Amino acid sequence: MVPESRPTPPDASTSAILRLAWPLLLANLAVVGNGTIDAVMAGRLSADDMAGIAVASSIYITVYIGFMAVLQALSPIAGHHYGAHRWRAIGDDLQQALWLSGFLLLVALPCLLATGFWTRVAAVDGRVAGIVSAYLQAVAFGLPAALATRVFVSLNAAVSRPKVTMVINLTVLSLKVPLNAVFMYGWGPIEPMGGAGAGVSTALLAWLALGMSLAIWRFDAFYDRFRSSAAHGPRWASQRELLKLGIPIGLSTLFEVTSFTLMAVLIARLGAVPVAGHQIVANLVALLFMVPLSLGIATSVLVAQSLGSGAPRVARSATLRGFRLAMSIAVVAAALLWLLREPIVRLYTVDPGVEAMALSLLGVAVLFHVFDAAQGMGSFVLRGYRQTFWPMVIYGVTLWGLGLGGGAWLAFNTTPFGAPRGALGFWEAAAVALAITAAALVVLTAMESNRRAIEQ
């Protein structure tokens, strides 16, 4: 397709990265904020409610993230179109990504609704098992909307409109507490549902986010140049292109996220207090990761747009600036978390046992965050270069093999390192695995960006 006007490279300065990243940061913090609200409100009920939400939300994230990440293939594809000024191609590929979200739903829903399987894997029973099952049934109602919304999130990042996602996510966040209160604690004719009520509010807010995304796409004049002239059915060539990029992205993200979320499912075997303490630390690490995640997405967008406009050296400059910025902030954030660890943990729980467990994990968690920032930047920048296969292989070997497998070995068995280490063993193995992952992805990123720049 011939570009509709002569493309010029995007601004790839540090200030340009920050302009894209700060709305993404607020948008991503809003997403994690929903989980934080769930954890805090459940923690005020009981350890069982907090454990139920910890396990159920980990399962939901495991299923949702794996399928959602496939749809992120739209972002580098649309970013290249945007850099080359192929405006109508963006709208055509948006339609194809929406079709793909529907196809993925056919597999994702049965996975999410296999509640008996998940409660057996987590080895939970009684009231905790009931909360897990009810939560998963509730969020399944919102899964179609959540997947379709992710298509628009990918689009808005690719065309440098992250503020749209920010506004939608902040709107959802503002409604989370009142909706949680209604369904968790009860209101009028609505009986209290405890921790499961958080799943109901999550599902309702997913449909609100989709409605807002569709309205903005339809009525905002900025998108006029992108919209297709007509609705299209599935185009199998486009579906193959999305899947060629999307399946490795999906598997990479699945390996990354499940190596983390399945920790909660396995730690649940140790009891409600260990999994509640783990959930606090996991939520704090997830909050901190929103900064390198946002910088990684912003840098990836500028890399894709630069390559689309035929300027790989600009893409390399964006890569270097993004890495420097992300790693500097990560080191400072990890140090602050360590210094303020006790008052921060007390915001989450009034249970002394849960507090002690969380504090015992934080020393490893701060190192985990620094490695997490490096691997996150490498992974997203490589997506901008449309390189997704080798990150998938690296994630599978290190995060599942060494991280999750090694964590289970340390947690539940007597090893050369001593007695079973419980939840701490999972975090120690995860930190080592993430350090290896970060080193490999940084090397891959440097090699790819240099190769493209030399070929210009």
Burial of 37 (0-12, 13-18, 19+ CB in 10 A): middle
Answer for the pair 396, 253: CB distance below 8 angstroms, yes or no: no
Phi and psi based region of residue 186 (left: phi greater than 0; alpha: psi -120 to 50; beta: remaining): left
d(CA 108, CA 117): 15
**What per-residue confidence (pLDDT) applies to 352?**
87
Residue 172 structure tokens: 């959802």
Q: What are phi and psi of 327, to 5 degrees?
A: -70, -35
Instruction: Give the C-alpha separation, 429 to 36, whole Å.
Output: 25
Is 2 part of any domain? no
**38-71 per-position pLDDT tens digit:** 888 887 788 788 888 888 888 898 889 889 999 9
Residue 197 lies in a domain: yes
Q: How far apart are CA 434 and CA 374, in angstroms?
A: 9
Report d(CA 408, CA 412) in Å as an integer. 6
Are 253 and 245 contacting, i.e. CB atoms less than 8 angstroms apart?
no
Looking at the domain assignment, is residue 5 inside a domain? no
**CB neighbour list of residue 4: distance below 8 Å, 6 or more residues apart:** 85, 86, 87, 88
**Residue 227 is encoded by which pair of tokens?**
């919209």
Q: Which residue is listed with tokens 């302009």? A: 19
pLDDT at 456: 66
- The predicted pLDDT at position 193 comes to 86
Residue 1 lies in a domain: no
The domain tally of the chain equals: 1
- The predicted pLDDT at position 188 comes to 79
Burial (CB < 10 A; 0-12, 13-18, 19+), residue 186, is: middle
What's the Rg (C-alpha) of the chain? 21
Distance CA 101, CA 143 (A): 10
Question: What does the block give as tokens for 434?
Answer: 């993430």
**Which residues in the chain come in under a pLDDT of 70?**
1-6, 456
CA atoms of 444 and 177, how far apart (whole Å): 42
- 6 domain residue, yes or no: no
Residue 274: inside a domain: yes
Which range marks the domain in which residue 411 is found? 14-455
Q: What pLDDT score was predicted for residue 4?
A: 47
Distance of CA 241 to the CA centre of its chain: 22
Quote the tokens at residue 324. 């420097």
Decide: 147 and 67 in contact? Cβ < 8 Å. yes
pLDDT at residue 2, rounded to an integer: 44
Residue 169 within any structural domain of the chain: yes
Model confidence, pTM = 0.85
- Within a domain: 407: yes
